[in-house]
Structure 1
Amino acid sequence: MDAIANSSLGARRNEDIALDLLKFVSGVAGVGKTTGGSTGFNAPSTPKPEEHVTELLELYGRCLKAIEGKGE
């Protein structure tokens, strides 16, 4: 049992790496963030939370493909 627990400590799964990449890309690009209006500027429409989730899931899929070397 200890061998199984210790074997996962050294290597990271592709899913974990893709999640870290998703966090980085979404933070830099502002994906999934709501944009508030500012003086003199009104956004045409505010995206729904479901649209944010869909956008993030699609981005995660792209990150996972990039990590696995499959590309698009």
Structure 2
Amino acid sequence: MAEPGPPTVNAPESAPAQPAGPARSADDVALELMKFIAVATGYGRSSQSAAGFSGKPVTRSAEEHAEALLELFQRCRRVVKKDD
């Protein structure tokens, strides 16, 4: 049987409140927004065949894919900086 003792240091209720962290720059926020949009929508990727009707598959080079992502990042930056 375990002996009762003082609570451990790692107990969640005894942890001191810590600040949320350093403020994030507008570029950091724009980058996170760009990553979210790119992953959620497949932005910049060639179209994959899906169920139903689809047009001709578009083949993009790595350079075109990178250019599309850079364009999306610039758009996200403009939106984030507009809110400042």
Instruction: Please tell me the TM-score bracket, short chain as reference.
Output: 0.5 to 0.7
For the pair 1:51 / 2:31, whether they are aligned, the reply is no
Instruction: Measure the CA separation in 2 of the matches of 1:30 and 1:45.
Output: 13
- Larger Cα-atom Rg: 2
More helix by share: 1
Gaps of 5+ in 1: 1-8
Q: 2:42 aligns with which of 17, 27, 30?
A: 30
Instruction: Measure the CA separation in 2 of the matches of 1:45 and 1:62.
Output: 23
Identity %: 35
The DSSP-based 3-state class of the residue aligned with 2:44 is coil
- Match for 2:68: what amino acid? E
Measured on the aligned residues, the alpha-carbon RMSD in Å equals 2.4
Count of aligned pairs between the two proteins: 62
Gaps of 5+ in 2: 1-20
